Amino acid sequence: MNQYDAIVIGAGHNGLTNGAYLAKAGLKVAVLERNPYIGGATVSRELHKGWWYSNCSYVSSLLRPEITRDLELPRHGLQVVSFGGGDTFMRNGDYFGNYSDHDRHYREMARHSKRDANAYDRYAADTSLQTKLIRPYLMRTPPDPTSMKPRDLRDLLEFARSFMDLGEEKLLDTIKFWTASVGDYLNEYFETDVIKAHMAGSGIIGTALGVYSPGTAYVLLHHYMGDVDGNVGAWGFARGGMGAIANALSKAFQSYGGEIICDANVDEVIVKGGRVAGVALKDGTEYKAPIVVSNLDPKRTFLDITNPSDLPKDVLKKARNFKIRGSSGKLNIALDGLPVFHGLDPRNRLMAGDLHFSDSLERQERAYDDWKAGTWSKDPYLDMMIPSLTDPTMAPPGKHMMSVFVQYAPPKVEGREWTDEDKDGFEKSVIDQISNYSPNFRDLILHCETRTPREIEAEVGLTEGNIFMGELTFDQLLFNRPFPGYAQYRSPIKGMYMCSSGTHPGGGVMAAPGANAAREILADLKKPNTVPGGYADD
């Protein structure tokens, strides 16, 4: 009865995706979830009566369209509605509006700087070149550069060729881009502080690095490479909150006969004779399966639920050195009405986009300085959304739900655990910043859920509260994710696999790791592949 063909640990979006493709291939699959509800960090929760919070991930773009279509997620209730634009409010009372309409965007940029407005198309073309380079590799297993296997050599050669095809100049630009800081990259195109700061935000979200840390230009790209309905770079809201994605995936999984078991807290992966045999829960229950897939991050997978004696020494060392530093927090706020911001008409559609208050790279770098010193940013970078303006199901009529992502918050405060007083101080620095720009904001607050890395780790199980399940720096990307030699979803234990965002192509609600891992598992089982190939870009 407790015998399955495969067990997936963790019912986040990658665990469910992985389970769905294995079940689709005819395997008897169980997805085990520690919490009483599914979704992991892709979840909607009614934490204040009548208000739904996407209380971890809050916007969607990276979810692979191949998976959306193949698993028929819209039929299972998923609807993603893109939002247009965004806005950075400035200290001088002005703002920069990031309109999605090209001509409107040009006029708004030119209002700040004609030179920047003219540079934008060049910036967009250069950046989308990088997007086009990486997108074909999202639904593929990274080749191992140290391997001599024909498959690896073939994939490496193809990978190298796609770079060589760029030509000398573009190739050198590309190398520079992939190692540059987002600040340096933007400085090459733009001169206006607020414009640079508005764009730089995507380079530091969820990352324990600053706008001037090399590697952050790639993080920017990571936020540009998704799409909503084929509109590359667009972001949207899942109707009903991010939990709608997990719910649709779970229905797809169940439609193939998969089983989800909640309140199942895995204690240990059982290994017998060098092969995985199943898992044991903390309550003593055992589930048996010849395949176990961990959707937990690499640290939890190898240092928490696996017996160290079952692992080679180098893997333990690599897992310990895996960088998964907490750098962000979140406030989810139930509002009695719509807040009004200085300088912007509340009916302006920018209000439905991403709102920020950091109007210079320097302010963002200073926010990072606080993190380095072991405390939360006193003047944080906020990525703030009012999803109820787009999706009325998030709050009662006339009321609003606000999601405030906060960069930076350290995993520990000055080296010790977070206390409730720290959490209050963190919350205050965020509320104060918003209130500086919105006179009626404070009075509208009906309920506020504040999440520091401590809460995110405790509830979702992301080590240190790192939203990407491991930093997106180059030493942990592609064939280096989670670590060199183990980037093809196989753990060192026979029959045990990894499918989390800690594997290629990384975090964000993408579902590609789950699908890629399923393809490798099915290949090892010599079963027909059920995972769709990647779409080619136009």
Partner 1 sequence: MTDYDAVIIGAGHNGLICASYLAKAGKNVLVLDARAEPGGCASSREFSPGFNVSDCAQWLSQLDRSIVKDLDLASAGLNLGQPKATISLQPDGNHLILDGDTISGAGIDSADQAAYRDFKSMVRSFAKLMTTLYRSRPPKLVEQNWTDRLTLMKLGLGLKLLGRERLRDLMRVVMINIYDVMNEHFSHAALKSTLALDAVTGTNMGPRSLIRSTAICMLLPGNIWHRLVQLRS
Using CB under 8 A as the criterion, which residues of the chain lie in contact with partner 1 when the complex forms? 145-146, 164, 166-168, 171-172, 175-176, 178-179, 181, 209, 212-215, 314, 321, 323, 372, 473-476, 479-480, 483-485
Compare residues 168 and 538 and give the one whose CB is closer to partner 1.
Answer: 168
Neighbours of 366 (CB within 10 A): 16
Compare residues 145 and 532 and give the one whose CB is closer to partner 1.
Answer: 145
Single-letter code of the amino acid located at 110:
A
- In the complex, least distance from residue 481 CB atom to partner 1, rounded to whole angstroms: 10
Q: Which two tokens stand for residue 399?
A: 């009321």
- In the complex, least distance from residue 237 CB atom to partner 1, rounded to whole angstroms: 34
Single-letter code of the amino acid located at 285:
T
Compare residues 175 and 458 and give the one whose CB is closer to partner 1.
Answer: 175
Q: How far apart are CA 404 and CA 383, in angstroms?
A: 6
Beta-strand pair 496-498/291-294:
parallel
Alpha carbons within 13 angstroms on the beta-carbon side of residue 531 total 26
- In the complex, least distance from residue 18 CB atom to partner 1, rounded to whole angstroms: 26
- In the complex, least distance from residue 483 CB atom to partner 1, rounded to whole angstroms: 7
Compare residues 53 and 468 and give the one whose CB is closer to partner 1.
Answer: 468
- In the complex, least distance from residue 200 CB atom to partner 1, rounded to whole angstroms: 15
Q: Tell me the CA distances in angstroms from 277 to 2, 290, 494, 497, one per residue in order.
A: 12, 5, 10, 13
Alpha helices in 77-192 (DSSP H): 102-112, 114-134, 150-164, 168-179, 182-187
> Residue 212: left if φ>0, alpha if ψ -120 to 50, beta else—which one?
alpha
- In the complex, least distance from residue 65 CB atom to partner 1, rounded to whole angstroms: 30
Candidates 511, 506, 528, 525; CA nearest to 67 is 511
Q: How far apart are CA 474 and CA 81, in angstroms?
A: 32
- In the complex, least distance from residue 479 CB atom to partner 1, rounded to whole angstroms: 7
Compare residues 214 and 392 and give the one whose CB is closer to partner 1.
Answer: 214
Compare residues 155 and 359 and give the one whose CB is closer to partner 1.
Answer: 155
Compare residues 142 and 243 and give the one whose CB is closer to partner 1.
Answer: 142
Q: Rounded to 5 degrees, what are φ and ψ at 152?
A: -65, -45
Residues ≥6 apart with Cβ < 8 Å to 113? 190, 191, 192, 195
- In the complex, least distance from residue 514 CB atom to partner 1, rounded to whole angstroms: 24
Compare residues 81 and 166 and give the one whose CB is closer to partner 1.
Answer: 166
Q: How far apart are CA 475 and CA 524, in angstroms?
A: 27
- In the complex, least distance from residue 516 CB atom to partner 1, rounded to whole angstroms: 20
Q: How many residues are recorded in the chain?
A: 538
Q: Rounded to 5 degrees, what are φ and ψ at 404?
A: -120, 105
Compare residues 162 and 348 and give the one whose CB is closer to partner 1.
Answer: 162
